[in-house]
Structure 1
Amino acid sequence: MTDSTPLDSASLDSAVSDKAVLDIVVLAGGISHERDVSLRSGRRVADALTHLGHTVRVLDPDAGLLAGLEANRPDVIWPALHGATGEDGALLSLLGTTGIPTVGSRGAAAGLAWSKPTAKELVRRAGFATPHGIALSTETFRDLGAGSVLDHLLGALGTPLVVKPAVGGSAQGVTIVDDAGALPRAMVNAYTYADAALVEAKISGVELAVTVIDTGDGPTALPAVEIVPRSGVYSFEARYNAGETLFYTPARISEATAALVSETAVAIHSLLGLRHISRVDLIVDAEGTAWFLEANVLPGLTETSLVPQSIEASGRSLGEVYVALARAAIAGN
């Protein structure tokens, strides 16, 4: 007699996870300032998964997305979205209601990391170093008087400063301020991309990006990438134009420092409640202190991005890791 008892959800997830060929939806595009980068990331993820024989559909989030997913449910969703479209947590929370396994952090955790001031405060409270900074909304900047606010910032923080949007990625709207005269334009630049700006003391040192992945056995840091932009500033152009930045993977740091930044990145990944994959950006100063800058829940995966460099330096292929993350999501890890 055939047992007709329906499988429970855990059994279904296990059966899907064991499938040789997965049906995967990659989300890419959106309407954020980082749309083009997202499309490039999505295509690279899709190519890596397809190369290993999996069935991949690339979808651009729009008004038909949720209904389309319900009508033609994939085994797993692989978001490759950047900017508010994917990283502020709203879409990730909605995807969570579909019951379709999704690679990456849940919406609430993504929202914490998306807000740089919030992430910095949580990290600071946990005892990690992060540059002293002040977040200012456009309303506060206007209501208290731009001149007065700028004078106060310079008095409190001095120079050099880093001015950036309080949310967002890819270094859009980020300005290094070496003298007081450059601060007004830096604020305007940041407000172009967000309703709040974060003004931080600039930390000098070795700039590092540490990828953290968790395929089911707990979060692990991959080899750190050392970032050396030819212009001295790791700008949007320096990130996505080949040859603008020198990358060293693994970073040219001591074993002790490498261990420190790995431990720090994993701890911050866990502290913020992140899942599956993240990139933690740090600067190590001359005294050996690792300063937290930000955490990225959906980091870039383009041909010039840092996560792929870390994966390859770890001795694994991109497709191997991307599939492992997809199976971890299906397994509920």
Structure 2
Amino acid sequence: MSDGIRNPFEGIEAQLRRADRFRDSVDPVAAVAAYRTFTDFVRPRLPELRAAAGLPADSGTRDDGRTIAARDGARADPADLRLYTFWNAPLDSAPPLVQACVGELQRLHADLPTTLTVLDGASARELVEIPDAVARALEQGHPAHFSDFVRVSVLDELGGIWVDATCWAPAPLPAAVAPLLTAGALYPRWTRRQIGNWFIAAVAGTPLIRLQRLTLQAWWESGGGIPDYFLYHRIFEVLYDLVPEFHGQWLAAPTLSAGASHLLQLGMMQPWDPEAMRFVAGASIVQKLSYKYDTVPAGSVLERLVSGRLLTA
């Protein structure tokens, strides 16, 4: 607007421009086709996958999964929930939003025993084994899928909390996560079977995570391609349908709403308001953001975040 008056619709216009960039990211036809592809891939390998995950070769029941959930949930301890994130490049060259989110997570956890570990490809290999076939297939050409494999491997072997480098948390995560880890593993979810994997918590070796890792590894080592960008999620859905114990363990997991965890992203182009931000902070233990935006509206939530100032005060 003219005469030095701020355009009151600037934040809305910026958010609409952002939304248009994500318009084609979800392909329902590809999702259905990928689900069928992974079902055909997993079904004949189930006995081998089950055995490697510590399950009987023959199918169990959902009640068995609930028993696993209770057993592994009892192992959850906030003091053991180390935090991990991943950025496979120097952090000082990362987008401003990534630097701000990682910096805030580091600040939140600096005085706790569970500080944030920022991994890259090299340091991830010091923690867990990354098969050569997986690295060759993914690390350079498909970094998001490489990160997916790193996260599930770290949590399978070590347990803890995985939080994407584009996430913001209103309070330290271990104490917030522990009451939600009663089934041994936790994802944010859109529906009962549709998850997000930008935030995951788990105890080490729990079947819900181990089966995911084993199936991903088998897929990449077989030379499988990327029939759907949300490959990790399609494999989760196939395991949910084909492995009763996996299904039962997930049914026992408390709900962490993916919708509530996107409130900050939906409003990040809007003018900063401390009362609104306190509402967002109370809506979920974690908020998922995106560094894919064009301009930063003056006075917006995003401007405050990338400048390193607190959002809630």
User: So what's the TM-score if we normalise by structure 1?
Assistant: 0.28
Larger fraction in helix: 2
Higher relative contact order (CA 8 A, sep 6+): 2
Which structure features the higher share of strand residues? Answer: 1
Q: Which TM-score applies when normalising by structure 2?
A: 0.29
